[in-house]
Amino acid sequence: MTDRWKLLRSILIVAAAVALIALPFVAAMLGSTYAITLATRLLIYAMVATGLNLILGYGGLVSFGHAAYFGLGGYTVAILAFHLGEGTSILGFPGTNEALVAWPLAMVVSGLAALVFGALSLRTSGVYFIMITLAFAQMTYYVFVALKYYGGDDGLSLARRNTLGGARIVDAQTFYFVCLALLALVIGVVQRMTVSRFGMVLSGARADERRMMAIGYSPYRYRLTAFVIAGMTAGLGGALWANLARFVSPDMMAWTKSGDFLAMAILGGLTSIAGPVIGAAAFILIESTLSGLTEYWQVIFGPIVVAVALFAPRGLWGMLAGKQER
Amino acid sequence: MSALVLDHVVKRFGALRAADDVSLAIEDKELHAIIGPNGAGKTTLIGLVTGELVPNGGRISMQGQDITDWTVPRRAQAGLARSFQITRLCEGFSAEDNVALAVQAKLGHSFRFLRNARKEPALREPARAALQRVDLLDRADRLVGELSHGEKRQLELAIALASEPRLLLLDEPMAGMGQEESQRMVALLAGLKGKITIVLIEHDMDAVFSLADRISVLVAGRVIKTGPAEAVRSDAAVRSAYLGGEA
């Protein structure tokens, strides 16, 4: 990697960080809460895509059911709030509106689902893996459609946003910064993971599974761990989403949502840390611009994704980085 | 105790007996070459020893331990290292990364998430030492894709050595090499001889006869002869079945 590229990359990263920190203030000056909401969506999508990229980009595993973990995280938050409102208990525990309880729990629920689904899906590979992850997500989707107690098809509204350690995070700006801090944390942890011993094994198994087995690795355990970590990240994203929208529905788990996450990761560029963030930003921008023009915005979005996949196989970040980044 | 024992091992693919009642004992620290015409079952034999293929009958043991039912990674962990006939390396990784992965495999589980593995001396130093042994240290930072064919074969050997194996299985290490590269590989292997048990599968007869302590001849899934190089060279059955006019 050349020094010039390193410098350019540092400048880009600092510029992006400054822009993300300044954004809500600028938006507030312009009196635009819509911009803050849009930017918060970006942060949450970027978080989910970052987790997905760990298994997709580094692990080489095309999970077509990532929305399931996103949705489960959201529902965990919503169901806990629902029981608090009703004054009832769930599995013997009272409901809660406290983020410090609900969000970690959302990660645990999503992580457990990823553990079970992953343990079974990872027995297969290639197209079968894609289909099985999709099947599990669809199963989860229909379970929540059928759960009339929690709103079924209509979903579940949250009366108010969670409190964070007792403090209110209702204000759009405050919530934005909570999401930004968590995204920074997720990116930091995932970045370190990718170059750790664990990450080397995960990437090595993508590059050549037979070689890795011949030197003594069982890729399955490492892939499953990555799958669970990605699921937990999506769970946290879902918990934040439920708070942003104050509403969850089975649509959070729809296969189109899984496709969106895949598109973000691929659009930005796999096997890079910045890729998913750029992909999420591109997705939000394209979606919000095009959906203003036509209801059928995906008709335009689809070919864009295809074009990126064809002409910039390492995504938008890869285009920026040129040949420099490994 | 023998380093590796194959006891009446059978592998069938449909009607084909690719390994037909193969019994072999590889002694500790010997360099044992296995030769045979194309289709004799050499690749099948490698698969059976590494664990990629499951035998239909017979037992395989390493250092007196029955490993017939062990998985590929478990055998590797127990000290079996191999090179591939067609190089298998992690593309997109540097030469040093590839070797460091083999070092890492020996250091217990890899569920370590936060430390930069590329900056761990415990991984990088043994990796560099292994690259040094095969004369590839000056290419350590090169990506696999930038290496020449001969260098990739050297890298395969470095990976195998980095795991400090008890038994080294080399599947045609000279395949596709020019004369100069082959000579370098022969010199490398000569330097290893007597230090590690080596099973060498190779077509290059000059290399085999100059390196091997003993040679086994495989024809149509059967071992028709095992013995010192000279005895094999002069064996009538071997000459007619395999060496033919070329010897």
H-helix or E-strand containing B223?
Answer: strand B222-228
- The answer as to whether B71 is a domain residue is yes
pLDDT digits (tens, 9 = 90+) for B183-211: 999 999 999 999 999 999 998 888 999 99
User: Helix (H) and strand (E) counts for chain B?
Assistant: 9, 10
Contacts of B40 (CB under 8 A, 6+ apart): B218, B219, B220, B221
Contact A197 B88 (CB under 8 A): no
Regarding whether B243 and B176 lie in a shared domain, the answer is yes
Mean pLDDT of chain B: 92
Total tally of structural domains belonging to chain A: 1
Give the residue numbers spanning the domain of B105. Answer: 89-164
Residue A317 lies in a domain: no
The answer to whether residue B131 is domain-embedded is yes
Asked if B36 and B60 sit in the same domain, the reply is: yes
Q: Given this model, what pLDDT does residue A326 score?
A: 44
Question: ipTM of the predicted structure?
Answer: 0.92
The structural domain count of chain B equals: 2
Q: How far is B165 from chain A (nearest CA, A)?
A: 10
Distance linking the first and last C-alpha atoms of chain B: 34
Tell me, yes or no, whether B227 and B174 share the same domain: yes
Please, which pLDDT band fits residue B242 given cuts at 50, 70 and 90? low
Which residues lie below 8 Å from residue B211, measured CB to CB, with a gap of 6+?
B31, B33, B186, B189, B190, B193, B200
Distance CA B114, CA A193 (A): 6
- CA-CA distance, B137 to A181, in Å (whole number)? 43
Residues B46 and B153 in one domain: no
DSSP code of B35?
Answer: E
Residue B131 forms contact with A (CB below 8 Å) = no
Same domain, B200 and B233: yes
Q: Is residue B84 in some structural domain? A: no
Across B69-77, average pLDDT = 97
Q: Quick one: B71 and B171 in the same domain?
A: yes
Which residues from B are below 8 Å from A203, CB to CB?
A: 90, 92-93
Q: State the amino acid at position B49 in one-letter form.
A: V
Q: Please, which residues bridge with residue A164 across strands?
A: A167
Q: Which of B92, B97, B163 sits opposite A215 (nearest CB)?
A: B163
Same-domain status, B54 and B174: yes
Pairing of strands B57-62, B65-66: antiparallel
CA B166 to chain centre: 11
Domain housing A205: 21-255
Query: What's residue B246's pLDDT?
Result: 46
B6 and B38 belong to one structural domain: yes
Give the CATH number, domain containing residue B4.
Answer: 3.40.50.300
Whether residue B5 is contained in a domain is answered as: yes
Determine the pLDDT at residue B132.
96
Structural domain contains residue B34: yes
Q: Is residue A223 part of a domain?
A: yes
Q: Which residues contact B67 (CB under 8 A, 6 or more apart)?
A: B51, B60, B61, B74, B75, B78
B243 plus B225 within the same structural domain: yes
Interface test with A, best of B101, B111, B115 (most A CBs within 10 A): B101
Task: Please give the pLDDT value at position B38.
Answer: 85
| B16, B3: one domain | yes
Assess if residue B247 is contained within a domain.
yes
User: Tens-of-pLDDT digits for all 326 residues of chain A?
Assistant: 567 878 888 888 899 889 999 999 998 888 888 899 999 999 999 999 999 999 999 999 999 999 999 999 999 999 999 999 999 988 888 999 999 999 999 999 999 999 999 999 999 999 999 999 999 999 999 999 999 999 999 999 999 999 999 999 999 999 999 999 999 999 999 999 999 999 999 999 999 999 999 999 999 999 999 999 999 999 999 999 999 999 999 999 999 999 999 999 998 888 888 899 999 999 999 988 888 888 888 888 888 888 888 888 788 887 777 654 44
Region B93-114: what's the mean pLDDT?
Answer: 95
Residue B199 and residue B137 in one domain: no
Indicate whether A298 belongs to any domain: no
pLDDT of res. A322: 63
Q: Are residues B173 and B236 in the same domain?
A: yes
Name the residue type at position B21: D
